[in-house]
Amino acid sequence: MAELSQTTGIPVPTIKYYMREGLLAPGRPTGRNQADYGEEHVRRLRLVRALVEYGDLSIAVIRDLTARIDNPDLEEFDLLGAAQKTVTQRKEARPGPYKDEAEQRLYDLLSARGWRIRTGDPAYRTAVGVLATLDEVGRHDMLEALDAYADGAERIAEADVRLLGGDVSDRERAVEIVVIGTSVGDTLIACLRRLAQSTVAERIYARGPSAGEREPGLPGARRP
C-alpha cells in the first residue's frame, strides 16, 4: 500500500478510507499484513480522486457510480447517462403559469430540434426553472434567443461526444471524460463565453484599438 500511495500521491489513510467505503477493491493478500495492488487499483484511485477534486461529488455518489462501473450487466449508454446526471443540478420551478409556459416552451424547442425528451431528467427540470424565471422577470429577449443558445449547446455537445471516440468499452475512462469533462468543461465554457462577450461587445459598441494598443508579441491580440 505504501507503493500504491507513492505511485498515486494519495496518502495511505485516504486509500484505507476509500477501501472501507467500497470505492476501491482490496489487494491480493500475500501475507499477514501484505497485499499486492495492480494497475487497476492505480486507475481507480486516480478516478476517485478526480471525482472528488474536480467533480465535487460526495463519497456516497462516487460509491454508487463506481458500483455501476463494476456492474458488467449495465450497458455503456446507461452508465454514461448515470455519470452525466451526477454532475447535473436539479432545481424545480415554482408551480404556476410561468412554469407551465416554460414546460411547453422547452418541450417545443427539443421536439423541433429532434433532441431526446426526458422530462424527469435533472437538466430538463432545471431548464424549465430557468425559462420560467426569465419569463417571470421579463427577460423575453433572452427567451427569443433560446434557439441560438441551443445551436451553441449542440455544437459543444458534439465536441464532447467526439472526445469519447467510438469505443466506450473502457468504462473508467468514459466515466472520467463525462464527469470531469462536463464539470471542468462547464467552467471552461463559461470563461470562454465571457471572453467572447468582451470581444463582441467591443466590436459592436467601441472603436477598435490602434496598432500601438495591441499586446506585444501577440499578433491581433488586444489589450484588456
Over the stretch 175-188, which tens digit does the pLDDT of each residue have?
A: 878 877 787 788 88
Q: In this predicted model, what pLDDT tens digit does every residue of 53-80 receive, in sequence order?
A: 877 788 998 898 888 888 888 888 888 8
**Better-scored residue on pLDDT, 202 or 53:** 202
Radius of gyration of the chain (CA): 23
Q: pLDDT-based confidence at 206, cuts 50/70/90?
A: confident
Which pLDDT belongs to residue 215?
Answer: 53
CB 33 within 8 A of CB 41: no
**Predicted local confidence at residue 17, as pLDDT:** 94
| pLDDT of 211 | 42
Among 20-29, 97-106, 173-182, 191-200, where is mean pLDDT lowest?
173-182
